[in-house]
Amino acid sequence: AQKITQTQPGMFVQEKEAVTLDCTYDTSDPSYGLFWYKQPSSGEMIFLIYQGSYDQQNATEGRYSLNFQKARKSANLVISASQLGDSAMYFCAMREGAYGGYNKLIFGAGTRLAVHP
């Protein structure tokens, strides 16, 4: 069965510093996709970054990068140069079948990030 684990209920970081949010996953499917979403206090789900299991390079999107370690089954989100607006809940999620397949996006419990000035 799929499982997503986020072991950090809360994190804080100083503005302009980098922060890593941890995510480990468990699946027996060789084809899968990993997502990170941001949920600010307003409640909407904002897509940040995606990594497919067969992608050779780690995904990057602006200040976001995904540290994908397939053998360890980890997909940590790295936010560089943190900004006050990065304060939010962050969710790691996984879908079996990297390019479609099943429509089951399974989420971790989330990490609440607080950025301090």
As measured in angstroms, the least distance from the Cβ of 107 to other proteins is 4
Nearer to other proteins, 68 or 91 (CB): 91
Q: CA distances (Å), 92 to each of 11, 14, 111, in order?
A: 15, 22, 9
As measured in angstroms, the least distance from the Cβ of 42 to other proteins is 9
**50: its two tokens:** 């995606």
Cα distance between residue 54 and residue 95, in whole Å: 13
Name the residues that contact other proteins, by CB under 8 A: 4, 6, 9, 33, 35, 37, 43-45, 47, 50, 91, 93, 99-100, 103-110
